[in-house]
C-alpha cells in the first residue's frame, strides 16, 4: 500500500477511536466500564465498520466482541488481533480501543487488496481489562482463557451487582461462558497498544516490539507508634508512625534508583488520627514494585521489607506487612516478537524491544496461545487521561507494520506447523 494510503487510513483510525470515545457513561468524559449499556453502542458501531467487509460478527457470553474475517481455505488457522473496549474513568480515546480499530483497518486493507493469507483474522474487543467496575482486571480475556469461576461471577460492584447479574443484564448467558473459550484453530494473538509511558518518545521511536510484561508485587505496610501531643512531646521521645513511613518511602525511591529497569512506587499513604496537632499513631502505605525479571523484583521487595523493619525497630514502631498481589512476569512469544520486530524494520523504522510495565490482555492470552504486542509512542508519555493522544504518522507506521506482520507470519513456519497440526487433528477425528 502506498504511503499516502497508510496516512489516510491512520487519519480514519484516529477518527474512529474518537467516535468510540463518545459512547460513555458520563457526559463530557469517556468512561465505559464492564458491560455498561454504552458497550452495546460500541458493538453496533464496530459491526457497521466490519459487516460490509464480510466479517462474521458475534458477542460471546462474557461480552467480548468477535469479528471473524475468514481465510479462503476451510479449517484455516486463526490469528486474533485486538485489545479492550472498556476504559478507566475520564479516559483518553486510544488506550485499548486503538488496538481494536487498527485490526479493523488491517482487515479493510486485505478486503481492498486480497492477498489470500493462509489464516483467518479474528478482531476481538475485550469487554473488560481495566478492573474498574469489579476491582479485578481482565474479565474479557480471562473468559477466552477459561479462567472465570464461580468466585469471580459472584464478585459485586459498588452497587451490589454481581458479575453474573451484569452479564445477564446485558442480555447474555453466564451459564455458557464456554462459548468465549479460545478455539483449536487459534495460532496466536497480536495486540497493538499505546506505550502509556515516555520511553519511545525519549528515544524518538514510533514503535517497538514488546518482549515481556513486567511482573508485579503489591503490598501494604502499616507502621504503628503512639499518638501524642505535637506541642509537648520532645522529638527524641516520639514514636511517630508517619515519620517512620516517610523515611521508608525515601528508601524505596533510593533502592529503585539503584536497580536498572526496576520501578517502585508508594502511591497511597494514610495516617491516623490525622490531626495537625497530633503525632501520627499509624501510617499505612502501599508499595508497587515491577520488573521483567522476577528474581530481581523479589530481591528488591526483600530489601524494601528489611528496610521497613530496620526503620521500625530504630524508631520504636511496630510493623505489619500484607501482600496484595504477586504476579509473575510474562514473556511474549519469541517467534512472534521476532516477526513483529522484522515487520517494524520492513516499515522503514529502527526495530527496538521494550518491556511493558503495565498489564495487558496479552499477558492472559499468552498463557494459552503465542502472543505478541507492538507499542506505539505516547506523546508526552500521557495515558489514562483525556490528554492521551497519538501521532498520525505513528499510526500510519503501525498499519504498515501490521501489513508486513501478516505477510511475514504467512510465510513463517508457525503457519506451516499450525496447518500440519490441524490436518493431523482432522484426520484423527475421521
DSSP string, 74-126: TT--EEEEEEE----TTB-S-TTHHHHHHHHHHHHHHHHS----SSEEEEEEE
Query: Where among 292, 326, 360 does a domain terminate?
Result: 326
Give me the mean pLDDT over the 334-349 stretch. 97
* Same domain, residue pair 368 and 317: no
* Same domain, residue pair 205 and 319: no
Q: How confident is the model at residue 2 (pLDDT cuts 50, 70, 90)?
A: low
d(CA 392, CA 208): 16
User: What mean pLDDT, rounded, does the chain reach?
Assistant: 94
- For residues 401 and 346, is the Cβ–Cβ distance under 8 A? yes
What residues form DSSP beta bridges with 67?
57, 123
Q: In Å, what is the CA distance from 16 to each residue of 205, 325, 349, 387? A: 24, 36, 25, 17
Instruction: Kindly state the cell numbers that stand for 217.
Output: 508485587
Cis peptide before 273 (omega within 30 of 0): yes
* Same domain, residue pair 357 and 395: yes
CA nearest to 315, candidates 222, 219, 224: 224
What residues form DSSP beta bridges with 371?
189
Within 8 A by CB and 6+ apart from 101, the residues are 13, 16, 17, 20
- Give me the residue label for grid cell 528496610: 307
Determine whether 27 is exposed, middle or buried from the number of CB atoms within 10 Å of its CB (0-12, 13-18, 19+): exposed
Start-to-end CA distance of the chain, whole Å, equals 42
Give the CATH number, domain containing residue 309: 3.30.70.360
* Same domain, residue pair 46 and 142: yes
Judged against a pLDDT cut of 50, whether residue 430 lies above it is answered with no
* Same domain, residue pair 317 and 333: no
Max distance between CA atoms of the chain, in angstroms, equals 87
Sign (positive/negative) of CA torsion 300, 301, 303, 304?
A: positive
How many other CB atoms are there within 10 angstroms of residue 272's CB atom?
Answer: 15
Would you state the pLDDT for residue 415? 72
Give the CATH number, domain containing residue 197: 3.40.630.10
Q: Residue length, the chain? A: 430
What does the pLDDT look like over 207-235, one tens digit per residue?
Answer: 999 999 999 999 999 999 999 999 999 99
Residues above pLDDT 90, as percent of the chain: 91
Query: Where among 305, 326, 347 does a domain terminate?
Result: 326
Query: Where among 326, 361, 386 does a domain terminate?
Result: 326
Angle at CA 317, nearest 5°, toward 314 and 321? 110
Would you state the pLDDT for residue 238? 97
Instruction: Kindly state the cell numbers that stand for 296.
Output: 530481581
Residue-number span of the structural domain to which 133 is assigned: 3-213+329-429
* Same domain, residue pair 26 and 153: yes
* Domain total of the chain: 2
Would you state the pLDDT for residue 417? 58
pTM score, two decimals?
0.88
* Same domain, residue pair 269 and 191: no
* Same domain, residue pair 268 and 367: no
What residues form DSSP beta bridges with 265?
288
d(CA 222, CA 37): 40
**Element spanning 264, H or E:** strand 263-265
What does the pLDDT look like over 95-135, one tens digit per residue?
Answer: 999 999 999 999 999 999 888 899 999 999 999 999 999 99
What does the pLDDT look like over 79-104, one tens digit per residue?
Answer: 999 999 999 999 999 999 999 999 99
What does the pLDDT look like over 343-387, one tens digit per residue?
Answer: 999 999 999 999 999 999 999 999 999 999 999 999 999 999 999
What residues form DSSP beta bridges with 215?
291
> What stretches of 138-253 adopt beta strand conformation (E)?
186-194, 207-213, 215-224
Would you state the pLDDT for residue 74? 77
What does the pLDDT look like over 408-426, one tens digit per residue?
Answer: 999 998 776 554 444 344 3
Amino acid at each position: 500500500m502506498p504511503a499516502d494510503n497508510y496516512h489516510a487510513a491512520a487519519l480514519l483510525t484516529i477518527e474512529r477511536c474518537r467516535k468510540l470515545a463518545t459512547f460513555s457513561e458520563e457526559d463530557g468524559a469517556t468512561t465505559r466500564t464492564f458491560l455498561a449499556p454504552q458497550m452495546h453502542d460500541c458493538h453496533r458501531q464496530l459491526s457497521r465498520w466490519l459487516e460490509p467487509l464480510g466479517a462474521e460478527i458475534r458477542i460471546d457470553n462474557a461480552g467480548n466482541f468477535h469479528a471473524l474475517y475468514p481465510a479462503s481455505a476451510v479449517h484455516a488457522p486463526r490469528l486474533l488481533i485486538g485489545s479492550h473496549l472498556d476504559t478507566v474513568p475520564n479516559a483518553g480515546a486510544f488506550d485499548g480501543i486503538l488496538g481494536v480499530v487498527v485490526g479493523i483497518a488491517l482487515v479493510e486493507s486485505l478486503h481492498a487488496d486480497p492477498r489470500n493469507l493462509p489464516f483467518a483474522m479474528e478482531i476481538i474487543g475485550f469487554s473488560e481489562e481495566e478492573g474498574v467496575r469489579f476491582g479485578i482486571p481482565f474479565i474479557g480475556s480471562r473468559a477466552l482463557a477459561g479462567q472465570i469461576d464461580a468466585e469471580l461471577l459472584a464478585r459485586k460492584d459498588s452497587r451490589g451487582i454481581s458479575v453474573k447479574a451484569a452479564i445477564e443484564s446485558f442480555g447474555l448467558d453466564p451459564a455458557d461462558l464456554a462459548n468465549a473459550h479460545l478455539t483449536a484453530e487459534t495460532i496466536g494473538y497480536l495486540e497493538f497498544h499505546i506505550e502509556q509511558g515516555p520511553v519511545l518518545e525519549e528515544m524518538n521511536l514510533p514503535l517497538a516490539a514488546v518482549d515481556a510484561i513486567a511482573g508485579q508485587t503489591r503490598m501494604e505496610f502499616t507502621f504503628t507508634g503512639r499518638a501524642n501531643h505535637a506541642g509537648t512531646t520532645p522529638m527524641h521521645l516520639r514514636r511517630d508512625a508517619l515519620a517512620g513511613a516517610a523515611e521508608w518511602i525515601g528508601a524505596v525511591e533510593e533502592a529503585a534508583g539503584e536497580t536498572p529497569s526496576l520501578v517502585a512506587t508508594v502511591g497511597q499513604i494514610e495516617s491516623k488520627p490525622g490531626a495537625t496537632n497530633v503525632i501520627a499513631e499509624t501510617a499505612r502505605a502501599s508499595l508497587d514494585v515491577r520488573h521483567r525479571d522476577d528474581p530481581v523484583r523479589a530481591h528488591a521487595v526483600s530489601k524494601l521489607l528489611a528496610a521497613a523493619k530496620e526503620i521500625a525497630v530504630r524508631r520504636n514502631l511496630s510493623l505489619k506487612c500484607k501482600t496484595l498481589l504477586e504476579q509473575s512476569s510474562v514473556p511474549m512469544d519469541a517467534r512472534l516478537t521476532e516477526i513483529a520486530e522484522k515487520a517494524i524494520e520492513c516499515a522503514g523504522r529502527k526495530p527496538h524491544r521494550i518491556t511493558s510495565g503495565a498489564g495487558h490482555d496479552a499477558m492472559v492470552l499468552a498463557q494459552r496461545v503465542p502472543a505478541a504486542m507492538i507499542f506505539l509512542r505516547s506523546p508526552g508519555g500521557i495515558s489514562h487521561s483525556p490528554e492521551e493522544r497519538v501521532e498520525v504518522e505513528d499510526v500510519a507506521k503501525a498499519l504498515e507494520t501490521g501489513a508486513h506482520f501478516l505477510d511475514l507470519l504467512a510465510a513463517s513456519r508457525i503457519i506451516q506447523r499450525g496447518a500440519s497440526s490441524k490436518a493431523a487433528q482432522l484426520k484423527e477425528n475421521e
